[in-house]
Structures are given as structure tokens and as C-alpha cells.
């Protein structure tokens, strides 16, 4: 068994967390029929998307998910939708936490939210837990397992899960939608992002089929077995999941996968431990996915799209800071992520490579 200190741990709340504890206690007592006077609460991670909290109510451990304050992006922060998707996935697959309750009464904490069972395990963020050995053999098994898990998601029976989407025209809508989101959030003149948006629109590949797509699959959105950190046991953060072209999901996955030999413009914004020795390269990820699924494709367009999408998300977050909707200093430098990631996306578009930039 791994040292318990390596398990994903919650930190004390801070001024940005916005959880009215007394109203939450009353709701918990009424909804779960428990004595909520013993409520303990902490915050998981410091991501830029929806907020995640650990609750301990008596002896029961739960996780609460809510949108960040001041953000109104319908699908990305629709807690009811995310919970329903998880319930559907749970009907056909074991690697998803069980949803306990959904609250659509915004008077409780200021937004909708849901509760799920806590799955104890290890989550790898941008810095490994102190003292945890992540040798090359472990990272090789884990990175291979990540590809296999993504392939499993793309093979799930969406009809049995009761998950609906609009797969026809999905690729086109994604390109148009993310281009529109960028322009709605634009603050600075970034020529590279306009260039890559135009290239993506002009070079769209044909639809490859329909599957459940996660749309945010990366190391810090999976829980690892505490007895074997090379094994994925649960997948988190389903807020953007839908039915669409699975190769778009592969592109997003690749865009998060920063390698040790990548240029500084990607290294500066690495969010996960994909650069550790033993990790598969992006080329190896694609080869493994193709082996597991039987799908063959040129990954460059999808990788460029994933980078473009990451740049747009960074722009949306930077715009929030510019508008005063958040005062957290970590948002202030995100315009450099927009510039740097968009430049790499154009390199991918022009070279057709997904690694070895500048070679």
C-alpha cells in the first residue's frame, strides 16, 4: 500500500472558495439525513475550472463540485448535466465515482452543485507528492494505461448510458465554436491564434465516427490505485463530455501531453507530469491508441486543434482577470500562454509533426 500521505489531500479553504458553510450544513442535514454539525471541508487542487471540495460529514467522505464564482459558460459549468453524465457512464463502466445528490437550488451555496462518493487514491498534478517514487517503469505503465482508458471511454455504449449528443457535424461545430469563444473573450491582438483558427477551418478532416468523448482527459483528471500508482481506477471532471468524434478527444489529450523535449512555450504551461522519464511520447500515444481501437489517422490536425482549444481556454480565463471577475494573480500571466501555445499550434500545422519541433 502506498503511504497514505500520497493520497490526494484537501487543503483549507481560502478567500476565493466561496462556500457558505451554515447553509450547506442545513442542506446536508436535510438531504442526507445526517447530523451535519460535524462537517469538515477542504479544497482539492487549484485548477482553473470547476471547484472541487472534500466533505467529511460524520464518518462519511464525499466530494462537492461547483462552478467558480462569477463564471457563466453554460455547458462547461452545468453541474446538473455533469452529474447526469456521470450517472449514465456509471451504468456501463466502473471507472467513475458514484453521484450521491444533486442540488439545483442556488440559494444554498450560490450555484448548483452535486455530491459524489470520494474515491481514495493518488492524483498526479504538476508536482509529484513528496517522497512518491515515480520511476520510469511506473510512468511507462501509467501512460500506456491512460491511452487504454481513453480507448475504453470511446468504446462505451452511449445508448445504454443514456447520453445524447449531436455527432453529425461535430468537428465543424467544434472549430466554429472555439473560434467564436476566442473572439468573444479576446483582449489582445494575437495574430497566431487567428492564423491557426483559419487553418483549422480550411483543413478539417472528415468525421471519423461517433463515441463518448471526455474532452478533458489528462493525468490530474484520473485517480490512481493507491496500491499501484501505475493503474487508473477512476476518471473525474466530466463537465464537457458528450457524444462526438473521438479523434477530437485524442487531440485534446495530446495537447496536454508536454514532453521533456518540447519548446519552452509549452514547457512553461505544463500542467501534468507527462515529462517524467518513462512516459510514452505523443507519437507512441497515437500508435498505442490506434492499436487499441483499430482507428488510423494523421494526428497533426487534431493535435493542432487541441492546442488551439487550450489557448482559447487560457484567453477566457485571462479575460475574466481583465474584467475583475477574479483577483487571483495566477490568471495575470495567461496571455503569454495564449501566445505561446498558438505559436506551437501553427508550427504543428505547417510541419505536420506532433513532436520534434524545430528539428
Question: Residues 288-304: pLDDT tens digits?
Answer: 999 999 999 999 999 99
The stretch 139-144 carries a mean pLDDT of 98
Q: At 98, which CATH number?
A: 3.30.200.20
- Confidence category of residue 71, pLDDT binned at 50, 70, 90: low
Q: Give yes or no for residue 167 having a pLDDT over 90.
A: yes
Verify that 162 and 224 share a domain, yes or no: yes
The pLDDT confidence band at residue 59, using thresholds 50, 70 and 90, is confident
Last residue of a domain, one of 71, 88, 117: 117
**The total number of structural domains that make up the chain:** 2
- Tell me, yes or no, whether 110 and 223 share the same domain: no
Report the alpha-carbon distance of residue 88 to residue 83 in Å, rounded: 9
Q: Do residue 234 and residue 318 come from a single domain?
A: yes
- pLDDT over 70 for what percent of the chain? 91
- Any domain includes 129: no
Which of 292, 267, 271, 286 has its CA nearest to residue 353? 286
Q: Residue 241 in 3-state DSSP? A: coil
Residue 59 lies inside a defined structural domain of this protein: yes
105 and 162 belong to one structural domain:
no
Q: Which of 94, 24, 8, 35 is nearest to 64 (CA)?
A: 24
Based on the fold, state whether residues 28 and 156 are members of the same structural domain: no
- Record the cell numbers describing residue 30, joined without a space: 436535510
Does 74 lie in the same domain as 192? Answer: no
Q: For residues 112 and 176, state if they share a domain.
A: no
Strand partners, 41: 55
Q: Do 65 and 151 reside in the same domain of the chain?
A: no
The region, left, alpha or beta by phi > 0 then psi within -120 to 50, assigned to residue 176 is: alpha
For residues 173-188, one letter each, b for 16 or more C-beta atoms within 10 angstroms of the residue's C-beta and e for the rest, the string is: ebbeebbebbeebbee
The pLDDT score that the predictor gives to residue 128 is 86
Among the candidates 88, 117, 146, a domain finishes at: 117
185/65 same-domain check:
no
Classify residue 181: in a domain, yes or no. yes
Question: 32 and 151, same structural domain?
Answer: no
Name the burial class of residue 114, with classes exposed (0-12), middle (13-18) and buried (19+) by CB atoms within 10 angstroms of its CB. Answer: buried
Q: Which domain holds residue 48?
A: 4-117
The C-alpha atoms of residue 122 and residue 120 are separated, in whole angstroms, by 7
Q: What is the pLDDT of residue 33?
A: 82
Domain-embedded: residue 18: yes
Question: Is the residue at 258 inside a domain?
Answer: yes
Q: Does residue 190 carry a pLDDT above 90? A: yes
- Domain final residue, candidates 90, 117, 144: 117
In this prediction, residue 268 has a pLDDT band, given cuts at 50, 70 and 90, of confident
Q: Are residues 173 and 108 in the same domain?
A: no
- Same domain (yes/no): 214, 262: yes
- What is the CATH classification number for the domain harbouring 241? 3.90.1200.10
200 within a domain of the structure (yes/no): yes
Amino acid at each position: 500500500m502506498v503511504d497514505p500521505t500520497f493520497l490526494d489531500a484537501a487543503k483549507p479553504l481560502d478567500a476565493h472558495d466561496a462556500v457558505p458553510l451554515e447553509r450547506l450544513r442545513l442542506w446536508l442535514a436535510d438531504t442526507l439525513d445526517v447530523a451535519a454539525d460535524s462537517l469538515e471541508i477542504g479544497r482539492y487542487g487549484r485548477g482553473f475550472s470547476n471547484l472541487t471540495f472534500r466533505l467529511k460529514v460524520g464518518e462519511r467522505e464525499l466530494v462537492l463540485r461547483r462552478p467558480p464564482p462569477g463564471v457563466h459558460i453554460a455547458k462547461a459549468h452545468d453541474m446538473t448535466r455533469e452529474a447526469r453524465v456521470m450517472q449514465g457512464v456509471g451504468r456501463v463502466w466502473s471507472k467513475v465515482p458514484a453521484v450521491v445528490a444533486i442540488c439545483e437550488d442556488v440559494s444554498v451555496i450560490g450555484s448548483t452543485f452535486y455530491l459524489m462518493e470520494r474515491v481514495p487514491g493518488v492524483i498526479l498534478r504538476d508536482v509529484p507528492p513528496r517522497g512518491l517514487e515515480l520511476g520510469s517503469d511506473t510512468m511507462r505503465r501509467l501512460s500506456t494505461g491512460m491511452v487504454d482508458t481513453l480507448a475504453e471511454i470511446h468504446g462505451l455504449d452511449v445508448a445504454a448510458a443514456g447520453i445524447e449528443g449531436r455527432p453529425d457535424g461535430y468537428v465543424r461545430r467544434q472549430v466554429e465554436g472555439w473560434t467564436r469563444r476566442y473572439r468573444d473573450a479576446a483582449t489582445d491582438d494575437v495574430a497566431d491564434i487567428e492564423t491557426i483558427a483559419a487553418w483549422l477551418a480550411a483543413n478539417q478532416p472528415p468525421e471519423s465516427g461517433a463515441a463518448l468523448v471526455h474532452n478533458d482527459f489528462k493525468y490530474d483528471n484520473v485517480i490512481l490505485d493507491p496500491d499501484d500508482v501505475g493503474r487508473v481506477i477512476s476518471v473525474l471532471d466530466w463537465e464537457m463530455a458528450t457524444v462526438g468524434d473521438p479523434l477530437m478527444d485524442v487531440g485534446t489529450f495530446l495537447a496536454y501531453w508536454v514532453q521533456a523535449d518540447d519548446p519552452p512555450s509549452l514547457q512553461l504551461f505544463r500542467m501534468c507530469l507527462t515529462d517524467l522519464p518513462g512516459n510514452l511520447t505523443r507519437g507512441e500515444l497515437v500508435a498505442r491508441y490506434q492499436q487499441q481501437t483499430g482507428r488510423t489517422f494523421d494526428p497533426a490536425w487534431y493535435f493542432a486543434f487541441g492546442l488551439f482549444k487550450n489557448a482559447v481556454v487560457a484567453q477566457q480565463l485571462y479575460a475574466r482577470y481583465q474584467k475583475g471577475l477574479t483577483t487571483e494573480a495566477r490568471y495575470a500571466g495567461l496571455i503569454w500562454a495564449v501566445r505561446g501555445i498558438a505559436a506551437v499550434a501553427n508550427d504543428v500545422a505547417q510541419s505536420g509533426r506532433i513532436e520534434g519541433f524545430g528539428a
